[in-house]
Amino acid sequence: QRQQQQPHTTTIITSSELSPAMESPDKSEPVNHERRILPASRAELLAGDLPEALADGRRLWIRGTVLSRRVLSRSLAFASVRLEAHSEAGMPWQTEKLHSKWGASQQHDGAEARGELQAHLSEAAAVCGLCFCAGLLDADGDFEATDEASWWHVVCQETAWAAFPGRKGDLPIGTLLEASVASLPMYRPEPMVLRWRRLEEAAPPGDPPPVPSAFNMARHHAARDAINRSAKQELLKARGGQATLCRVWSAGRECCDGCECRHVLASPIEDARVADIKSMREESRAAAALERSLYDEASGDVSAHRSEAKAEKTQRAELFAAWLLETYGADALGAGGGVLDVAGGRGDLSWALSTGHEVPCTLVDPALRRDGQLRSWQRRALRKSGREGFRHVAAEFGPEAFGSPATPYGPLLLSASLVVGLHPDQATEAIVDLALAAGVRFAVVPCCVFTHLFPSRELEPGQPVRSLNQFCAYLRLKDSRIRETFLGFEGRNKVLYLP
């Protein structure tokens, strides 16, 4: 009767509660360890008094769905995972009693008490925290043969190991993953990931097959919102109904009226954590201010680029279009196939050039917004004027699609009068490289560096490209003819162009 009265619950567990495989081989080892500094490498972990830190007795393979994730730095990240299966050394995947506690007999005397505990745990949905430490991740599989000898029946798949999830997009909520984890309570209470991989999930029934070069933004955001809401509710149950701490409120800002998060500090640990976050935020703001002051430096008169003389960001497309017309001329821009607007998003720059100045434009962006349709006021304006709007090519701007005349859109690049990019994100360097290779002029306004996607960029040997100032200098080194100037709007407004 007691078993039938148990409600369906969700339980947050630590590494010592996952399975017998996660317990320390040495039963005399104390449970409460003094936390050590995370190791910078595997060699550092195994050195000294921890030669058996990665023994099979501390290891486990798990499979689960990501419910939340948090990236703290370039070398440390965390995730909450709903466990769906696990595998101990030499054992197949198991989907029941995912977190049966090995030490149950130490707390409950008798087989009846242990059986009651096991019955409760098998009904509960287990949520496990994972710690990703870049120094311990074996993304290249160098130690796979030695570490996974007892799990080779689990490991042998074609899916490659994933690198450290340095950004939230590397580990989206709802992702199904498999991970090899180790229990290292002397460092972290959560299991620490040694290697992991994302699993391909089947599309929901009735969904059309994905388009390789384009996707529907509205459907994408709606699907992500539904997954995020479901994961949030599940984590709320796992915490016993206690809401998460509001990040906006804890940062000292005013939160919205309908916020469902907690607006009170529940423990001294949270108080110290909030204080640390505020201190780090102040340091980050100081560093950003210094970087901005260096970014604003330019030869000539800089007074016109001060904040009080700049237009709002909403006007940047019109201002960039006016600068292009003044620099290159309408006749030159309209020659050949016209202007290629790379990663132009909604097409604001293409709209400003094509409808306001009759310059033919082609928007190159893989995202389809509003199913590829213009906004309603734009469609009305085209009907009244009798003009045609700009063309949209749903493809990524890269060497695979634009690199040569033999590629699908290579002739489009060769016939272009100018390649432009207004905050084109990852496509910034591709614009410069492909335009120079094709002998086409370009004008680009860089905004982001994406060091995690392009770690091989170097200003000189041993000096990686980290900041936007370094990125602009790196791009200028590609050709001595490249010039730079500023536009009159707020934000990232430096233009690198080939006159």
**May I ask the CATH class of domain 309-497?**
alpha beta
CA distances from 424 to 27, 104, 492 (A): 57, 56, 12
The strand pairing partners of 458, in sequence order, are: 464
pLDDT of residue 361: 93
pLDDT of residue 338: 93
Q: What is the DSSP letter of 206?
A: T
8-66: pLDDT as tens digits: 334 445 544 454 444 443 433 444 445 577 887 888 887 765 667 778 778 888 888 89
pLDDT of residue 276: 82
CB burial of residue 198 (10 Å; 0-12, 13-18, 19+) = middle
- Residue 65: CB atoms within 10 A of its CB come to 21
How many whole angstroms separate alpha carbon 233 and alpha carbon 462?
Answer: 46
Query: Looking at the chain, how many residues does it have?
Result: 499
Domain ranges of the chain: 2-198, 243-295, 309-497
Q: What is the DSSP letter of 129?
A: E
Type and span of the H or E element at 192: strand 192-198
484 touches 496 (CB < 8 A)? yes
pTM for the full predicted model: 0.57
pLDDT of residue 299: 40
pLDDT of residue 389: 81
pLDDT of residue 5: 36
Query: Residue written as tokens 């040997």?
Result: 461
Instruction: Please report, in tens digits, the pLDDT of each residue of the chain (499 residues total).
Output: 333 333 333 444 554 445 444 444 343 344 444 557 788 788 888 776 566 777 877 888 888 889 888 888 888 999 988 888 888 877 888 876 554 433 333 333 334 433 333 333 333 457 888 999 988 898 888 888 778 877 776 776 666 888 999 888 888 888 899 998 888 888 888 888 999 998 865 444 445 555 444 557 777 778 888 888 888 777 777 766 667 778 788 877 787 777 877 888 878 877 887 888 888 888 888 887 777 777 766 544 454 445 556 778 788 899 999 999 999 999 999 999 999 999 988 889 998 898 888 899 999 998 877 766 777 888 888 888 877 888 889 899 999 999 999 999 999 999 999 999 999 999 999 999 999 999 999 999 999 898 888 889 998 888 889 888 899 999 999 999 999 998 888 888 899 999 9
How many whole angstroms separate alpha carbon 401 and alpha carbon 331?
Answer: 27
pLDDT of residue 328: 95
Tell which residue, 471, 477, 497, has the closest CA to residue 486: 497
pLDDT of residue 411: 93
Type and span of the H or E element at 364: strand 361-364
pLDDT of residue 188: 83
